[in-house]
Structure 1
């Protein structure tokens, strides 16, 4: 269950969010506050997974508060009546942004995204050689070294596996990259990650892996060339 905290100086706004939260069995309320600073102990004790945080509040603003807790393992969905804050919200790694008045459909999309992120970050034994990914209602246990490459499709990613399977996960490339060991995977392009050991050659604008040619961003070419040079030296 995602442990939720609601922070908003307006009582009616807090009550509305609390009612929405009750509609989902994977959400639970651990508190609601009119003043963000009063919630610090709860957050620092790692008793919160998800915060619904208003931006424009008396005293400390939501953006500033998010910066204060930026090193803590908590997800933030901003709630505000001011659309111009959206960009600032994403600069502090908010996973969602709800514009007041908040509609249930928008709330549902935001919390489903939070649920996916939570599952990916806390996948069972994620530090081991395998991870769990959910595709629709099915959970897949995937050995990390079986992932040849990852392709981003806006709000989804495709995992291309050595056995030719393709698993589609509702998340971002960045979230996947944070789960995969950096020593084994390299970002080739804003839309592609590849397992280093699966890259067989580089030809012009493309890196070749089994059954695919993946585009290489201009600023990644040198890094990839160094990787292949090191591998060749190690094989000698």
Structure 2
């Protein structure tokens, strides 16, 4: 697995590289002193993991993640400050390591990374495998690419032969039918609301009665309002009832 280290302190980068030598299957293919340097490296090398410092000159690790729209691997934050731990997991980081980094703690992170990569590989090799909230998918729309964990996808919308995925502030198109998408997604998490929409049940903010015995749900995030057809409303109630 390929790794890139982003840290403004050269000694910190060297120490992390030294620790990673204990994991022969992890290859450090690049390092950067700030987020400006790493952007081009990601597109060129497409690593499996990014070890990302938080406090750096210019953009912080968080600020960069909020604006970066290109290829993004798994992110493991490395920082001397424990105050950012909650925010790190809010942006779906794989892990959060405090400096000075302990070898046993780094080993735990590598194990998480291995499990994540193995899950992605199984999903690719087994088309019948249902993708759950913790699985990650590769999305390409034009020149932009993302690795997206499905717990970030709140809505799938049919657009003819394409499906538009809604996650964060992004709305890329995927060349796949909504029926094919439904076949791949875990029905305990992703619910077919109507002919055009699949919703992530974890993003439902509000439910209201709607016309002809149907329901209308409002999703967290951007507040999209999606109608659940009368027929699907029966399934919806059965699925979520005690």
TM-score normalized with structure 1 length? 0.58
Q: Does 1:80 align with 2:79?
A: yes
**Structure 1 counterpart SS, 2:3:** strand
1:175 aligned residue (134, 140, 154): 134
Query: Which of structure 1's runs of 4+ aligned residues deviate more than 6 A?
Result: 217-220
CA gap 1:66/1:127 in 2 versus in 1, 3 angstroms: farther
Q: Which residue of 1 aligns with 2:105?
A: 106
CA gap 1:70/1:106 in 2 versus in 1, 3 angstroms: farther
Q: Does 1:185 align with 2:186?
A: yes
CA gap 1:59/1:178 in 2 versus in 1, 3 angstroms: closer
Query: Residue 35 of structure 2 contacts residue 64 of structure 2 at CA under 8 Å; is this kept in 1?
Result: yes
CA gap 1:111/1:32 in 2 versus in 1, 3 angstroms: same
Q: Which residue of 2 aligns with 1:96?
A: 95
- How big is the shift at 1:124? 6.3
- How big is the shift at 1:186? 2.4
CA offset digits 1:89-122 (Å, max 9, x no partner): 1222111000111101110101110111122123
Mapping for residues 114-193 of structure 1, pairs under 5 Å: 114-123=113-122, 125-126=124-125, 128-130=127-129, 144=130, 174-176=133-135, 178=150, 182-183=182-183, 185-187=186-188
CA gap 1:7/1:194 in 2 versus in 1, 3 angstroms: closer
Superposition RMSD on alpha carbons, in Å? 3.5
Matched positions, count: 165
Query: Residue 46 of structure 1 contacts residue 73 of structure 1 at CA under 8 Å; is this kept in 2?
Result: no
Structure 2 unaligned regions, length at least 5: 136-148, 152-179, 193-203, 208-214, 216-227, 237-242
- How big is the shift at 1:35? 1.9
- How big is the shift at 1:83? 0.7
CA gap 1:54/1:125 in 2 versus in 1, 3 angstroms: closer
